[in-house]
Chains A and B, each alone.
Chain A
Amino acid sequence: MKLREYLKDRLWFFLIAAISLGLMLLFLTAYRVSVQLTATICVIFGLFLIAEETAGFFRKKRFYDDMQGKLDGLDKKYLIHEMLKRPDFLDGQIMYDGFCIANKSMCENVSAYKRTADDFREFIEMWVHEIKLPVASLQLMAHNHSDELGEKFQEQLRRIDGYTDQVLYYARSENAEKDYIIKETPLKRTVANVALKNRESAQLCGASIETEGLDLSVMTDGKWLEFMLGQLMANSLKYTVEGREPVISISAEELPDRVLLHFRDNGTGISEADLPRIFEKSFTGENGRAYAKSTGMGLYIVKSLCDRLGHIITAASEKGEYTEFTIAFAKNQFYKMV
């Protein structure tokens, strides 16, 4: 709070003080009061004015400077009233009480939304588990009564399963609570599960999968990693180059402080302009426009899951040549000891 601004704010008060001083001088002269007395009265009046304004200024300055300083330093600015002491001047007190009421109402509002969001997420999680039952049932039926249609049904059921998984993991990635377990997960088993799940689609486009150095274990949630690799594999099998046999190579590499998992294909690749944006929500880019049915959600979900688990995912690509995703897992000696 600057003195000049404060004085400007108090302009009306000074105007009224000046008018009353003028009137007083007028009457004092009219009653022929001696000049000395008039001067004394003026000095007392002036001193009173200065003393009153100085005290008022510093009282408010202390409070408001404190508030501004704390606001600047505060990460969650809506918590400001928790940091302040109730001021000792009336307008400040009124404002402070207002803050508290507004904040309480906001907290209630936010928690109502949070409850709604939580309920919704819980429902989605439950719904996904429910929908898997008829899918499982249909898959068994398709297998038991397998004729030519059986295989086609299986393919469609796998698609349904893939989309429901996306919903499940989207809900999980947006959830603030910790619903994953980080433990030592062998890469070999995880990759094998992903490959098995995508075997039919891989064979449909004649793709082969090469693996190297997957005898390592990483600290992660196995189920989440399976989903992430599944998304990458689905992309690799979707964006293939006509007339070139698709090859997906998955390899792991151990560095002193982390393990890198490389996931590389020889598909259409991603153009340089699109590459920095592929992890954005709903971003489809050139490839998305060229191929139907891109939602722009797959990689976004993968990225959010990585962020939540503390892994770092990066992408490198050359248009028409290859795409390579690398996931870096931190190594934690502490876990190994336990």
Chain B
Amino acid sequence: MSRIYIVEDDRSIREELAELLRNSGYEAEFLTDFANSRAEVLGAKADLILMDINIPNLNGEQLLKEIRKETDTPVIMVTSRTSETDEVLSMSYGADDYITKPYNPTILLLRISAVLKRAAATVSVQTYNGLQVNDAKGSLSDGSREMTLTKNEMIIFRFMLDRKGSIVTRDELMTALWDNDEFVNDNALTVNISRLRSKLAELGCEDAIETRKKQGYILR
């Protein structure tokens, strides 16, 4: 389980954020004493740091600079400042991503998992029920047969695979698709899911995707 450390001085936001992250299967902790932020953040040994810019004592950009001297822990800047200057500055100090408040929570989670994956730099071959998932080729194979997925189907499948066993809402799937420049509408999502289902069935995984009325889908 990845540990995420939240540096945010607004109490309400950091508590909700921690809850959001815990609900999504991360371990979340936050900073409460900003007097000694540098040591606290470094001592937390987190896998990823979510950092606001407007924080007491050292501001986020300075803190980021300090942290970068010691460690390569991924940092996502989360701030209410919408200006290119802050983004350019943050990125040049070594931030891995920059998100402005208010953000769509699903998008935030997508970015977190993307940054974590990049940091882990694992070869992205995963398996599902004995099927090899090949991201680069965009295909599934069971050793003998290989089934090519379209880009949309791959995005949907990957998203569900990361959350295997728990409910994925249509809304989250839509966000994942749109985040990958696939601006599809509702009908297209339905079509993509049913195609994905039949492709999985052909590979011997019948009923892999279960529909939950009014809630979403579960990959078994």
Residues from 138 to 194 in A contacting B, C-beta threshold 8 Å: 138-141, 143-144, 151, 157, 161, 165, 168, 179-181, 183, 188, 192
Cβ contact within 8 Å between A199 and B13: no
Do the beta carbons of A196 and B178 come within 8 Å of each other?
A: yes
Contact of A139 among B103, B178, B188 (CB under 8 A): B103
Closest residue on chain B to residue A130 by CB atoms: B80
* Alpha-carbon distance A195/B184, docked complex (angstroms): 11
Distance between B115 CB and nearest chain A CB, rounded to angstroms: 16
Cα separation A195 to B19 with both chains bound (whole Å): 27
- How many A residues touch B, CB cutoff 8 Å? 41
Interface flag for A85 (CB, 8 Å): no
Instruction: Tell me the complex Cα distance, A165–B82, Å.
Output: 9
In the complex, B20 has a CB within 8 A of chain A: yes
Known A-B contacts A133-B10, A144-B23; A208 and B183 likewise in contact (beta carbons under 8 Å): yes
Interface size on B, residues (CB 8 A): 35
Q: Measured between alpha carbons, how far is A207 from B188 in the docked complex, in Å?
A: 12
Bound Cα distance from A136 to B12, whole angstroms: 10
Beta-carbon contact of A137 and B10 below 8 Å: yes
Name the A residues within 8 Å of B12 (CB-CB): 134, 137
Label chain B's interface by main secondary structure: helix
Residues of chain B from 8 to 24 with CB closer than 8 A to chain A in the complex: 10, 12-13, 16-17, 19-20, 23
A163 to chain B, nearest CB (A): 13
A114 at the interface (CB under 8 A from B): no
Name the interface residues of B53-91: CB closer than 8 Å to any CB of A.
Answer: 54, 80-85, 87-88
**Which residues of chain A in 90-144 are interfacial with respect to chain B, using CB atoms and an 8 Å cutoff?**
129-130, 132-141, 143-144
Are B20 and A192 in contact, CB atoms less than 8 angstroms apart? no
Once bound together, how far apart are the Cα atoms of A208 and B101, in whole Å? 26
Distance (whole angstroms) from the CB of A46 to the closest CB of chain B? 77
Distance of B190 from chain A, by nearest CB (Å): 13
A196 to B172, CA, bound (A): 12
Residues of the A chain whose Cβ atoms lie less than 8 Å from the Cβ of B175: 196, 199
CB <8 Å contact, B102 and A209: no
A133–B85 CB distance below 8 A: no
Interfacial chain A residues near B103, Cβ < 8 Å: 136, 139
Does residue A282 face the partner (Cβ distance < 8 Å to B)? no
CA distance A129 to B80 in the complex (A): 5
Cβ of B205 within 8 Å of any chain A Cβ, yes or no, is no
Smallest Cβ-Cβ distance to B184: which chain A residue: A208
Cα(A278)–Cα(B80), bound, Å: 31
